[in-house]
Amino acid sequence: MQKTLITLISILATLSPAAAQQAGGLMSVKDCMSYAISNSTKVRIQQASNGDARIGRRDAILAAFTPRITSQTYAYYNFGRSIDPQTNTYFNTTSFYNGYQVQAGFNLFNGFQAVNNLKIAKTSLLMGITQEKQVEADICLAVMEAYYNVVYFTKLQSLFQDQVETAQKSLLLAKRQEELGQKGHADVVQMEADLADREYDLVNNKSQLNTQMLNLRDLMFWPVDSALNILTDIEEPGATLPSGDLNSVVDYAMDNNPDVQVAEGKFLNAKRELSTAKWQLMPTVSLYAGWDTRYYSYKGSTTDPFHSQFKNNAGEYVQLTLSLPIFDRLSRYSAISKKKNAVAAAQAEYDQKCHEVDTEVRKAFQDSDDAMAAWLQASRKEAVQDEAYRLNSRKLEQGLISPIEYRAATDNYLKAKADKYNSLFKYLIKQSVVRYYSGEEYISQF
């Protein structure tokens, strides 16, 4: 029996979140995040871009350290006047030529273009990996917000359902008291109106719950033909201030935040492209080496057979080329000017991202602090209103307060409950944002 149980646990551990739910489990916020990341089209698109970046890095490495090797062959007939390779004189006849060539070339100096392209390719790949992390972080944050919205309206749904049942019982009690002469008909009508309001609140909240659930399913790419069941029991955290020193977190975010890292990578690549453009004003030195041979024949004459010519006409060569740009209609100078503008734009974008991240971190700390204060106050208010609601419920049963007074007490109770749930989930989200800027990934927080 114990062995069977262990085997079952092992099987469940290997199941995906969706399969685990189908096996009878409920999806936690971490499960929802994991499922969303593994099925997100945005992640797949970024991964495809990263694949291109890896190919670009490989091409840059090959271009920098390996020669370019080509081979060619040709064959043609010549009709009319041509040159006899043996006598180097013109003659009129039909001739056939067939040649073979293999050549290897390598740029000895091309303005450090290959080296800069290699650095650019490596930085682009790192940027792609960083962007993938950013996409995953954005997905996790969106899923977490949608998840808490579903939990919020689920809590309210249960609360409104209880209120409907309480209003139904109160209406039955009021009707009985009317029959006994303890209440007037106006009180019964007021209780019926209160029940109708509670039923409307229940239906309206159900609609909002369905909308938030649809949003969560959309973010997760959850199958349309499968129900999504999530955990709604959220443990209330302790009242703690944002972790870490504000300035330390700002410094950490400046060095590790994906947006800043991508902007910095673009700035570095822009400077490298500018350097490459400037060096293009210098000469280019290339080295080539090759081997070639040929075969020919003339109509009406006797020539050596193919294998003899193939061997006897073979030759090798080494070529050193120096290319110096003189006038190319100022295209190189125009390229330098454009690259300078690109560097200025990349510098401005990097400064903007640094400023945005600095502001976001400080705002996250402030929001987390304010959300904690709001949640603590809402918890105290909810406790007071809960006690007041219980007392007023007993007073209503005893006929000590009117239905209108009871309705006001109920509204205050419902608002206090809703405010507590709302402030709690806001605090959880703001606290997670601070922890993310401090270096803790969203999915690792649960």
CB contact at 8 A, 132 and 44: no
Backbone angles phi, psi at 228, to 5 degrees: -115, 115
> How far is Cα 306 from Cα 438, in angstroms, rounded to an integer?
76
Question: pLDDT value at position 244?
Answer: 66
Per-10-residue mean pLDDT of the chain, 446 residues long, equals 43 48 72 93 92 91 89 87 71 84 89 86 91 92 94 90 81 75 74 84 91 93 89 77 77 90 93 90 90 85 85 91 83 89 94 93 90 89 85 76 75 86 90 89 89
Question: pLDDT value at position 8?
Answer: 44
Question: pLDDT value at position 222?
Answer: 93
> How far is Cα 315 from Cα 290, in angstroms, rounded to an integer?
8
Bridge partners of 397, per DSSP, are: none
R_g over Cα of the chain: 39
Question: pLDDT value at position 243?
Answer: 60
Domain spanning 19-66+112-283+330-445: CATH superfamily: Outer membrane efflux proteins (OEP) (1.20.1600.10)
**Count of beta carbons in the 10 Å neighbourhood of residue 153:** 22
Query: Domains of the chain: which residue ranges?
Result: 19-66+112-283+330-445, 75-109+288-323
Question: pLDDT value at position 142?
Answer: 93
Residue 360: burial class (beta carbons within 10 Å; 0-12, 13-18, 19+): middle
CB contact at 8 A, 299 and 79: no
Report DSSP state, residue 444: G
Question: pLDDT value at position 152?
Answer: 92
Question: pLDDT value at position 76?
Answer: 86
